[in-house]
């Protein structure tokens, strides 16, 4: 009784603030009145009235995951889902352009890269909904992610629905167990011993590359330099400026200069994997979840394995958000809610080895046949560190200017 009272009190206090904050221009529902408890009651009718929902997916390897979700969603609610694969950066720019022109967004529910938060929120295209607080299926959501993402407060509007991890992947048929590098120093030594067999993704062309350069910087920089590196209050422009001009990064550039003499720069996350599959490379920078997709699609050998380097490599996640200018915001919320349901998250974990931000699911539920392709427990989650994507992007651009173009 007292708990509901407090809850009521809380919502009534928070309501004006939420109402003022909400930027969902096409939402018929008064968000301030929506709680986890009455969510379905209020939102389902609104969503059915909208009748359809458009979703964007930025991750090429996630197509079949969303197919599964859409199937469940359409069966459950009878609301049609229009699905599009998109290019992340381009879709972001599209939302911004449409928003600035004062038009409706072409998308309602957007599965977006975890690094997009600063851009999407600062430009006002992110639907300002406390999803993690009002969607019923977020009741077991990791509290660390519920209000913050990569050091920024999002108030629940930018929930990660999938966690992923950058890693070093190798073909164990060619790399012996005792040769597997354990640190960045090991890595360069291995690369020099096996010239042109290590693939480093170009940061501008893939997150496994920008994750790698950020991890390297985290491992190399200390003191004030490191503080700057992890200061998530900086904007992308500030990060770019710093990365272009600072001397802090000299050791990083030196590392890359040395590495580039013996390693291969690849054209993207998939290119790295493809070359490993072609046995042209035996080791490379990868995303854990993409590796899984490629193994399932027989685009990687069964002997492929993953590891993390000391003192850590960045982990990330991708968010499912409502666009501020969404035409069908209620249906979008409903779709996101279903994406976080325990059943679906469990399916995703089992079938795609996609890690979940739900606290009641963990990797032990993955079947052992699949688990061998994932990061071993010895390194994960111990060596997973947080990322500041705008800084990672800035480092990638600076790398282009400082090392690659010379």
Partner 1 sequence: MTALFNDRRLQLLLLLAPGVGYLLFFFGTPLFQALRESLVTDQGDFTLMWYQRAFSRPSMVRGLTTSLYYGLAPVFVSLALSVPLSVLIRQSFIGRKLFNGLYKLPLAVPSLIAALAVIILAEQGGFLDRVLAHVGLSLPKIVRDDAGLGVIFTSAWKQVPFMTLIITSAFAAIPEDLRLAARAFGASRLQTFLRVEVPLAMPGISAAVLLTFIGSMGSYAIPDLVGPPSARPLSVLMVEGFKNGKFHEVYAMGMILSAFAIAVLIAYYTLTHRIGPQAVTGDER
Partner 2 sequence: MSAIAAPVPLGEKRIRFTEEDRPLIAFGLFTALGLTVLLPLALMFLWSVADGWSPPNIVPAAYTGERWAAVLSNSDILNAGLTSLFVSVVVTLATAVIALPTAWAMARIPFRAKRLVEIFILAPMIIPGLVVAVGIGRLFLSLGLAYSISGVILVQIVGTLPLMIRLMTATLEGIPQELIHAARSLGAGTFGVLIHIILPLCVPGLLAGGLLSFVASFEEFDKTFIVGAPAVQTLPVRLYMYLDPYSMQLPMASVVAFLLLVPALIIFVIAGRVLRDDLMAAGMGKM
Residue reference for tokens 């013996």: 262
Nearer to partner 1, 147 or 241 (CB): 241
Taking alpha carbons only, the member of 306, 319, 318 closest to residue 383 is 306
Q: Per CB under 8 A, does 303 bind partner 2? A: no
CB of 394 to partner 2, least distance (A): 19
Task: Rule CB under 8 A: choose which of 93, 148, 262, 363 binds partner 1.
Answer: 93
Q: Per CB under 8 A, does 85 bind partner 1? A: no
Span 54-73, contacts to partner 2 by CB under 8 A:
56, 59-61
Strands 148-149 and 264-266: unpaired
Nearer to partner 2, 35 or 299 (CB): 299
Partners of 265 in beta bridges: 200
Taking alpha carbons only, the member of 358, 357, 379, 355 closest to residue 366 is 355
CA dihedral 383, 386, 391, 396 (to 10 degrees): 40
Q: Per CB under 8 A, does 90 bind partner 1? A: yes
Nearer to partner 2, 107 or 322 (CB): 107
Task: Rule CB under 8 A: choose which of 132, 164, 266, 385 binds partner 1.
Answer: 266
Only one of the segments 1-9, 39-47, 86-94, 175-183 lies at the binding site for partner 2 (rule: CB under 8 A); that segment is 86-94
CB of 253 to partner 1, least distance (A): 13
404 binds, among partner 2, partner 1, none (CB under 5 to 8 A by kind): partner 1
CB of 119 to partner 1, least distance (A): 8
Task: Rule CB under 8 A: choose which of 278, 364, 405, 406 binds partner 2.
Answer: 278
Task: Rule CB under 8 A: choose which of 40, 83, 174, 347 binds partner 2.
Answer: 83
Q: Per CB under 8 A, does 279 bind partner 2? A: yes
Nearer to partner 1, 44 or 96 (CB): 96
Q: Per CB under 8 A, does 279 bind partner 1? A: yes
CB of 202 to partner 1, least distance (A): 4
Nearer to partner 2, 60 or 143 (CB): 60
Binding-site ranges for partner 2 (CB under 8 A): 56, 59-61, 83-87, 90-91, 94, 97-98, 100-101, 103, 106-107, 205-206, 267-271, 274, 277-279, 290, 297-299, 301
Binding-site ranges for partner 1 (CB under 8 A): 87, 89-90, 92-93, 96, 119, 202, 204-205, 265-268, 271, 274-275, 277-280, 400-401, 404-406
């Amino acid at each position: 009784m007292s708990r509901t009272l407090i809850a009521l009190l809380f919502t009534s206090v928070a309501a004006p603030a939420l109402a003022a904050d909400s930027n969902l221009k096409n939402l018929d529902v008064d968000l301030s009145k929506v709680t986890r408890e009455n969510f379905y009651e209020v939102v389902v009718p609104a969503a059915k009235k909208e009748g359809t929902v458009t979703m964007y997916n930025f991750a090429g390897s996630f197509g079949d995951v969303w197919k599964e979700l859409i199937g469940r969603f359409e069966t459950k609610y009878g609301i049609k889902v229009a699905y599009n694969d998109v290019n992340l950066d381009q879709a972001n720019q599209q939302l911004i352009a449409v928003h600035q022109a004062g038009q409706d967004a072409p998308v309602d529910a957007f599965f977006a890269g975890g690094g997009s938060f600063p851009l999407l929120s600062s430009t006002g295209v992110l639907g300002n909904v406390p999803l993690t607080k009002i969607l019923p299926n977020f009741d077991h959501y990791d509290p660390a992610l519920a209000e913050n993402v990569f050091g920024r407060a999002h108030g629940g509007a930018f929930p990660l629905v999938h966690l992923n991890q950058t890693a070093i992947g190798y073909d164990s048929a060619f790399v012996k167990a005792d040769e597997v590098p354990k640190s960045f120093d090991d890595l360069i030594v291995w690369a020099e011993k096996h010239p042109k067999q290590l693939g480093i993704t170009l940061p501008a062309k893939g997150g496994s590359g920008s994750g790698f350069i950020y991890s390297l910087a985290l491992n190399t920089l200390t003191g004030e330099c490191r503080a700057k590196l992890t200061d998530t209050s900086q904007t992308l422009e500030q990060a770019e400026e710093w990365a272009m001009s600072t001397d802090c990064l000299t050791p990083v550039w030196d590392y890359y200069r040395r590495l580039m003499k013996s390693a291969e720069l690849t054209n993207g996350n998939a290119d790295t994997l493809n070359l490993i599959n072609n046995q042209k490379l035996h080791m490379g920078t990868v995303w854990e979840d993409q590796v899984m997709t490629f193994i399932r699609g027989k685009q990687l050998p069964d002997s492929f394995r993953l590891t993390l380097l000391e003192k850590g490599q960045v982990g990330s996640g991708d968010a499912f958000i409502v666009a501020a200018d969404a035409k069908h915001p209620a249906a979008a919320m409903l779709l996101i809610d279903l994406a976080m349901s325990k059943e679906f998250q469990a399916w995703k974990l089992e079938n795609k080895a996609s890690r979940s931000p739900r606290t009641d699911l963990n990797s032990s539920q993955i079947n052992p046949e699949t688990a061998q392709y994932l990061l071993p427990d010895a390194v994960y989650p111990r060596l997973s560190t947080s990322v500041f994507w705008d800084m990672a992007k800035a480092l990638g651009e600076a790398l282009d200017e400082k090392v690659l173009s010379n």
